[in-house]
Amino acid sequence: MAKVPPRGSTLLAVGLAAGLTIGAVPAHPAKTRPTVTVSIGYENAPDPEAVAIEQHFFQKYMHARVVLRYFSDGPLALTDLASGRLDFMTTLGNPPTASAIADGVPLRVVWAMERYTTAEGLVVSKSSHITNLQQLKGKTVALVKGSTSPFELDTALKLHHIPLSSVTQLNMSPPEMVAAWKTHRLVAAYTWVPFVSAMAQSSGRMLMYDQNVYRQAPIFNLAVVNSKWAAAHPGLVEGFVAAEQAGVRFFHQHPQQAYADMGKLNHITAAQAKAQAKGLSFTSLPQQLTLRRLGNLRTKSRSLVAKSLTAAVRWLYQTHQISHLPKNMSSYVAPRFAEAVLHGKG
């Protein structure tokens, strides 16, 4: 999902990170030469990954020269992932990930970064007098086509037996939405923080959040790896997982510094980062292997991430955004790297 302007530099040279003990995470999870270069794509989010970047955890645990590449949206990143120009891509929603799988992009989900609760939702203008979803009939809702927003909106409309054709969906970037909102050219928009909160604070009212359709359409930010590259570099994938976990652990142990790190890399204040992070549910390494996230090698077919990908790909097919349904979406979920790190096998 597109967020705010680029966070930090595009290249972080190898350096020493702040010392941190993270339980079962091995001290040297990736045994490779520091001259190896790993490319990690990202979008902005106020999350523990921002902490991992600021604290240089990817360099520390991957033992590699890490090139960070900012993307304003997922399609270009997934093209680069497919071609091998990008090794990892993070902060991907499940609909874009499912679409990439249907298009044959060789990827595996290795980390469920966070689940959206109140960080994304539908905002309406107070002057529109819209107080429920039924009153959206005949109205126009701005959103980002190809993102999680139309998936969530369509799911909510179906739950309330509202014909999808009765609501006009207008494709706009989040910054364009905010600009149109300020000039009263929009009455409704479905997007994420900080844009949705800016509109809500400017004569708006939140009508629903992702949390309201959590059971039918859970939304995650996911981290994926090129599966061909991963097969050749399993130790580096384990190092990536260890770095993500280090960011989560640091967030819980040093929250004030963590919010400062999130703010710095997202070009917002620490207070803004803290407010935005409240709408996200972060995941620790042990939690990754539960049914509420990736599951483990035996249970991943029943995991919430696998179910979210399945729901997303079915929606994409039903709305004619993809031409065929991939089989067994759980086969693209790879908890084995998290298991190796948790149990010290890396």
pLDDT for position 75: 75
The string of pLDDT tens digits covering residues 76-119 is 799 999 999 999 999 999 999 999 999 999 999 999 999 999 99
Domains present along the chain, CATH in parentheses: 11-117+218-342 (3.40.190.10), 120-213 (3.40.190.10)
The pLDDT of residue 6 is 34
pTM metric for this prediction: 0.85
pLDDT tens digits, one per residue of 259-303? 999 999 999 999 999 999 999 999 999 999 999 999 999 999 999
The answer to whether the beta carbons of residues 220 and 93 sit under 8 Å apart is: yes
pLDDT tens, position by position, 182-230: 999 999 999 998 899 999 999 999 999 999 999 999 999 999 999 999 9
What pLDDT score was predicted for residue 5? 34
Percent of the chain with pLDDT strictly greater than 90: 84
SS3 for the chain is CCCCCCCCCCEECCCCCCCCCCCCCCCCCCCCCCCCEEEEEECCCCCHHHHHHHCCHHHHHHCCEEEEEECCCHHHHHHHHHHCCCCEEEEECHHHHHHHHHCCCCEEEEEEEEEECCCEEEEEEHHHCCCCHHHHCCCEEEECCCCHHHHHHHHHHHHCCCCHHHCEEEECCHHHHHHHHHCCCCCEEEEECCHHHHHHCCCEEEEEEHHHHCCCCCCEEEEEEEHHHHHHCHHHHHHHHHHHHHHHHHHHHCHHHHHHHHHHHHCCCHHHHHHHHCCEEECCHHHHCCCCCCCCCCCHHHCHHHHHHHHHHHHHHHCCCCCCCCCCHHHHECCHHHHHHHCCCC
Question: Which tokens hold the place of 37?
Answer: 């270069």
Checking if the pLDDT of 319 tops 60, the result is yes
